[in-house]
Chain A
Amino acid sequence: MSEPAITTSRLTKRFGTLTAVSELDLEVMPGEVVGFLGPNGAGKTTTIRMLLGFLNPSEGSCQVLGSSPSRDVSLRRRIGYLPGDLRVDPSMTGAELFSWFGKLRGGIDQRRVDELVERLGLDPGRPFGALSKGNRQKVGLIQAFQHDPDVLILDEPTSGLDPLAQREFMRLVHEAVARDAAVLFSSHILPAVERIASRIAIIRTGKLVAVSTVDELLDRARRRLELRFSEPVSADIFKGVPGVVEVDVDGDTAQIVIDGAVGPALGAATGKASLLRINNVGDDLEDLFVSLYDGSNDEVGEAR
């Protein structure tokens, strides 16, 4: 088995009395996408900024491609980075940025840049300041992918992207993985990563609370369903139904939170002829964080 592309061991960052990241152990292998999930302020960006060498760890260490990120600057030629808060000189156009960064990385692959521009649908001649949020994000993605890096570190890459661009972005990640790149992909929402990540690492208040495969995690995640009926319903219909941990009825609409299999709850709901539709509000990650944090899910996955 090859060496991990990203390794952190007991990685810790303190700002004064605040511990932003605490003893984080994580590995990302070549050809793997790891979704790095956590609520805002959990320490994702701090971790990523240590991986890029912008911050020095207070304790522990991290390695990218076998070397300390602050020590071996030349390694960054093989890293693609998308910051969570992308800022570019507002008067600079996408094309200018791609060509400048291309030079800094040892030569621009103009064909690749043109291809990415085409696929994501960006006008590279417009100044960054004149672009919409989504188009700015495309500029960030193109500069991260343009040199076909071996490691991609992407902080909230899908934020602001329209569905089409999101799909194209997912394809880009698939292609990168196919050529054995390692991808660390942070997000605060599960749907953004569940279809693409092979493993999910969940961080909360600076600590890694779970590392597991997506399937394992989805099994554990509580689901929140919204049920619409043609007439007002009573919360009683879910009384005693296994897995239903929360019921919130408002007239003809019921919101239920299900822990585990959804079958029994749906059985209880579909028993009512007045059921009009079922909306999957989402696998409530916030709920999952809470349950992981409470320890109600004991089997917290071991960091690999």
Chain B
Amino acid sequence: MTMLSVLRQMIFRRRTSLIWWCLGLVGVDAMWAIAYPTVRNNAALDKTFSNLSPSVKALLGLSNGALITSPVGYLDSQFYANVLPIVLLIFAVGLATWAVAGDEAAGTLELLLANPVSRVRVAVERAVAMVAMLLTLALVCGGALAAMAPIVALNAGLPLYRIVTAAVASALLALVFAALAFAIGAATGRRGIAVATATSVAVFGYILEGVAQQVGFLRPLRLLNPWHWMLSTDPLGRGASWQAFLLPLAVSAVLFALGAARFASRDLR
């Protein structure tokens, strides 16, 4: 009866918002699908994109040599390597920040914590709810795109399930930054710092992935960069890998745990 009621309450309060996010991304899917036929038949585009610098190619997810006119090159460069992770990041960072710090700043967390629920339970259930909503959004987005792909031959040489796999990989990339926002928010109770840090780190990581293509001494840093984990392994073209799936999950779990542990013992604000 009391099972997961913090988690269920969080999802229930946000069900309408989640539906709108899903509709929005399905709309974006449709837009890319509709635009594909004009790209597919435009060989000149391949030439243009092949002349781009390695930095830009890396940021477009084209460092694997895929052509922009191919489904993989098209979807990576237009969607999976940038727009989708960023949209998912905005969605997830918002939820993750609210989970503790936002609710605390609004003054509504205190009343909940006067109930027989531990802070760790609140933190864990809300982190799980956030992950569930993020994955739902990614699955709906990937699923809808996979359903539309055959209509415009976006699946030529590309198994349909990969379109879903890559959407989940984008979600896991976003999850790392959301987990960072959660951890900072839970540890400090400060919403602003949580959002600012997570966003800055995400932007920094994105830029680093491009710059490190050309600045040699920055290369080792890429190993710490969630963008690199996903972009260099190309989940759309090559499928799931431990770097794009297990690594972000593990790092996120550690961040969630650190945030929850600090939240459990500090003063509320």
Contacts and interface: CB of A to CB of B under 8 A. Distances in A.
A92 interface: yes
Interface stretch (A34-42, A78-86, A181-189, A230-238): A78-86
B1 A107 contact: yes
A81 B2 contact: no
Contacts of B267: 54-56
Interface string B101-121: 000001110111111111000
A75 B116 contact: yes
A77 to B, nearest CB: 4
B129 to A, nearest CB: 14
Given A81-B114, A89-B13, A103 B5 contact: yes
Contacts of A103: 1-2, 5
A54 B110 contact: yes
B2 A52 contact: no
B268 A77 contact: no
Interface in A193-251: none
B13 A74 contact: no
Contact of A73 (B2, B111, B117): B117
A87 interface: yes
Contacts of A88: 108, 111
Contacts of B268: 49, 54-55
A273 interface: no
A87 B108 contact: yes
B9 interface: yes
Given A100-B9, A103-B1, A52 B111 contact: no
Interface string B1-31: 1100110010001000000000000000000
Contacts of A104: 2, 5-6, 112, 115-117
Interface in B106-154: 106-108, 110-118
Interface residues of B, number: 22
A248 to B, nearest CB: 41
Interface in B225-269: 265-268
A103 B113 CA distance: 14
Interface string B68-108: 00000000000000000000000000000000000000111
Interface in A132-162: 143
B213 to A, nearest CB: 46
A28 B79 CA distance: 63
Given A54-B267, A56-B267, A76-B116, A83 B5 contact: no
Contacts of A75: 116
A54 B9 CA distance: 22
A74 B116 contact: yes
Contacts of A81: 111, 114
Nearest to A144: B114
Contacts of A54: 110, 113, 267-268
Nearest to B117: A104
A76 B13 CA distance: 24
A126 interface: no
Interface in A64-122: 73-77, 79, 81, 83, 85-89, 91-92, 100-101, 103-107
Contact of B2 (A49, A91, A106, A143): A106
A49 B110 CA distance: 9
A105 B112 CA distance: 11
Nearest to A72: B116
B116 A92 contact: no
A76 B107 contact: no
A74 to B, nearest CB: 5
A77 B118 CA distance: 12
A275 B109 CA distance: 55
Interface of A: 49, 52-56, 73-77, 79, 81, 83, 85-89, 91-92, 100-101, 103-107, 143
10 contacts: A49-B110, A49-B268, A54-B113, A54-B267, A88-B108, A100-B9, A104-B2, A104-B5, A105-B115, A143-B111
Interface of B: 1-2, 5-6, 9, 13, 106-108, 110-118, 265-268
The 7 A-B pairs at the shortest CB distance, nearest first, are namely A87-B107, A81-B114, A104-B115, A54-B268, A76-B116, A77-B116, A73-B118
Given A77-B116, A89-B106, A103-B2, 7 more contacts: A55-B267, A81-B114, A85-B107, A88-B111, A100-B9, A103-B5, A104-B116
